Amino acid sequence: MDRKTKENVVAELHEKLKGVKLAVLANYSGMSVAKITALRNELRKTGTEMRVIKNTLLRIASKDTDFVVLDDYLKGPIAVILSYGDAVESTKSLVEFAKKNAELEIKAGLMSGRLLSKDQISVLADLPSREVLLSRLLSVMLGTQTGLVNVLSGVQRNLVQVLEAYRTKKAA
């Protein structure tokens, strides 16, 4: 790769690192090309990109970004997984693939400027998706309103029942 190409790659990667929601470093050594292609296809479905870049170029591109905290993990063959969409969905895909393929080793991650360990990434993958969380929140909100309506209408209902019992007693 000539110097101009390297400069273009670094500039492009620097811009991507600024706008990324989640970045994960993974060791892919020992994986076949077919498995790497399958992983890339799986990640693409969730709006995630997997790139294999030289560590020195990644170090240069990460300057002036939150990604600098991952410099200690840039050793050996590293794949960078960049998520621009839902972080939970992309980590689910990545962790599921890593469970099925022992060659893929998740090293560390970065989300909102915070360093994530391998265990924290696994916990993130276990979270329900955004849509599920929103539906749970909506059901809680609707349940509260329904309960309030039932409580408020209970007083009126009891009054009507007492009046009906009194009318029945008078009629008898």
Please state the domain extents for the chain. 3-127, 129-172
CATH of domain 3-127: 3.30.70.1730
Q: Do residues 83 and 46 make contact, with C-beta atoms less than 8 angstroms apart?
A: yes
How far is Cα 143 from Cα 148, in angstroms, rounded to an integer?
9
* Overall pTM > 0.85: no
Tell me which DSSP letter residue 109 carries: E
For 48, the token pair is: 């995630």
Residue by residue, pLDDT tens for the chain (172 residues) are 788 888 888 889 888 888 888 899 999 888 889 999 999 999 898 889 999 989 889 888 888 888 888 888 888 889 999 988 888 888 998 999 999 988 889 999 998 888 998 899 988 888 887 788 889 888 888 888 888 888 888 888 888 899 999 999 998 8
How far is Cα 23 from Cα 82, in angstroms, rounded to an integer?
5
